[in-house]
């Protein structure tokens, strides 16, 4: 099954999220069956990221959005775990600070756009600004509705500079969310993630779904597509995301750059150094 084709939000097409099966898990019955595929993906990603870093002809920006407990943090962890921190980073976007609010909504995001050779994950992103302020009526409609075009232009600018964008919307059902909240209550390692807003935001579920559907329709573009990831099963979410990243990096035909030096020359120096050792006098020709 080609997960990239299956899960892409086709540019300009409306997706009814209620018609998406959040528990979809492709060809694999369970995480045990998917284990080898997952491990293979992670290993391949590590290898491809090294090439991306060395070659410096491409950049990759992964955007993660999803309702609370959809698995954004877990996806970051899973995807980035295998990578070399040199050349990769995760940037989380929280509620805008006072200073950030005095600037245009892309101001705080732009500095974290990856440069050639870099791979970045945005854990939440500029898309927050067409979600929260809309659902909570924090700015007039004229303001948030103009942001779709501004986002598309911003992302087009990145693309033209060599950035490939992959945007993942992690989709879970309200029932799955509630179950995850329950697990947090019982897990001392994750109790810190519980916030007052968890339950009050659930009251706005339908409004968020509307906002996500608009975001997917207006901002899934050929140069920066959205993917809707069925995320009730964490292992399938990880499999789908890593598969799509891998396929995207594969398309870049990344290659390690040619050495900039004459290897035979360097080999000669190596043997000479070995023969004479540090601090010993070299042959007269080397002095």
Of 8 and 139, the one with the shorter C-beta distance to a copy of itself is 139
Based on the shown chain and the rule CB under 8 A, indicate whether residue 56 belongs to the binding site for a copy of itself: yes
Based on the shown chain and the rule CB under 8 A, indicate whether residue 119 belongs to the binding site for a copy of itself: no
Decide if 102 contacts 71 (C-beta within 8 A). no
Based on the shown chain and the rule CB under 8 A, indicate whether residue 206 belongs to the binding site for a copy of itself: no
Q: Which long-range contacts (CB under 8 A, 24 or more apart) does 130-138 make?
A: 130/211, 130/214, 130/215, 131/65, 131/208, 131/211, 131/212, 131/215, 134/207, 134/211, 135/204, 135/207, 135/208, 135/211, 136/204
* Furthest C-alpha separation in the chain: 83
Task: Provide the 10 A C-beta neighbour count for residue 273.
Answer: 13
- List 113, 132, 215, 240, residue binding a copy of itself (CB under 8 A): 113
Of 87 and 230, the one with the shorter C-beta distance to a copy of itself is 87
Taking CB under 8 A as the binding criterion, the range among 4-12, 160-168, 181-189, 196-204 that sits at the site for a copy of itself is 160-168
Taking CB under 8 A as the binding criterion, the range among 9-17, 153-161, 233-241, 279-287 that sits at the site for a copy of itself is 153-161
CA 45/CA 243 separation, integer angstroms: 9
Based on the shown chain and the rule CB under 8 A, indicate whether residue 102 belongs to the binding site for a copy of itself: yes
The residues pairing with 257 across neighbouring beta strands, listed in sequence order, are: none
Rg (CA), the chain: 23
Based on the shown chain and the rule CB under 8 A, indicate whether residue 158 belongs to the binding site for a copy of itself: yes
The residues pairing with 123 across neighbouring beta strands, listed in sequence order, are: 64, 92
Based on the shown chain and the rule CB under 8 A, indicate whether residue 12 belongs to the binding site for a copy of itself: no
Of 104 and 206, the one with the shorter C-beta distance to a copy of itself is 104
Token pair of 88, please?
A: 């990769």
Based on the shown chain and the rule CB under 8 A, indicate whether residue 143 belongs to the binding site for a copy of itself: yes
Of 99 and 258, the one with the shorter C-beta distance to a copy of itself is 99
Taking CB under 8 A as the binding criterion, the range among 71-79, 105-113, 164-172, 232-240 that sits at the site for a copy of itself is 105-113
Question: Which residues, including other chains, have CB under 8 Å from residue 244's CB and lie 6 or more apart?
Answer: 3, 4, 7, 166, 168, 227
- Nearest distance in Å: CB 157, a copy of itself: 5
Dihedral (CA of 48, 49, 54, 59) sign: positive
Of 60 and 172, the one with the shorter C-beta distance to a copy of itself is 60
CA 287/CA 283 separation, integer angstroms: 7
Based on the shown chain and the rule CB under 8 A, indicate whether residue 93 belongs to the binding site for a copy of itself: no
Of 161 and 185, the one with the shorter C-beta distance to a copy of itself is 161
Token pair of 216, please?
A: 């997917």
Based on the shown chain and the rule CB under 8 A, indicate whether residue 104 belongs to the binding site for a copy of itself: yes
- List 146, 191, 255, 272, residue binding a copy of itself (CB under 8 A): 146
- List 116, 178, 207, 247, residue binding a copy of itself (CB under 8 A): 116
Q: What are phi and psi of 74, to 5 degrees?
A: -60, -40
The residues binding a copy of itself (CB under 8 A) are 56, 59, 99, 102-107, 110-111, 113, 115-118, 143, 146, 149-150, 153-154, 156-158, 160-161, 163
């Amino acid at each position: 099954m080609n997960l990239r084709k299956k899960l892409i939000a086709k540019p300009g097409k409306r997706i009814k999220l209620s018609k998406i099966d959040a528990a979809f898990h492709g060809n694999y019955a369970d995480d045990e069956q998917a284990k080898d595929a997952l491990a293979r993906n992670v290993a391949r990603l590590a290898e491809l990221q090294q090439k991306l870093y060395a070659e410096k002809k491409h950049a990759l920006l992964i955007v993660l959005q999803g309702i609370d407990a959809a698995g954004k943090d877990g996806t970051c962890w899973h995807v980035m775990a295998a990578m070399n921190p040199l050349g990769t980073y995760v940037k989380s976007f929280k509620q805008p600070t006072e200073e950030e609010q005095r600037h245009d909504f892309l101001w705080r995001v732009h500095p974290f756009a990856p440069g050639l050779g870099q791979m970045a994950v945005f854990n939440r992103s500029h898309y927050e600004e067409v979600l929260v302020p809309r659902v909570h009526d924090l700015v007039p409609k004229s303001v948030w509705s103009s942001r779709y075009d501004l986002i598309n232009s911003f992302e087009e600018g990145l693309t033209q500079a060599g950035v490939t964008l992959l945007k993942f919307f992690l989709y879970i059902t309200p029932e799955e969310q509630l179950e995850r909240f329950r697990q947090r209550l019982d897990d001392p390692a994750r109790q810190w993630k519980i916030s007052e807003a968890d339950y009050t935001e659930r009251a706005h579920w339908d409004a968020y779904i509307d906002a996500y559907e608009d975001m997917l329709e207006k901002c899934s573009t050929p140069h920066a597509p959205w993917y809707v990831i069925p995320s009730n099963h964490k292992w399938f979410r990880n499999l789908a995301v890593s598969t799509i990243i891998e396929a995207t990096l594969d398309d870049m035909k990344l290659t390690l750059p040619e050495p900039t030096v004459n290897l035979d020359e360097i080999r000669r120096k190596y043997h000479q150094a070995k023969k004479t050792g540090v601090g010993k006098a070299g042959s007269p020709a080397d002095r």
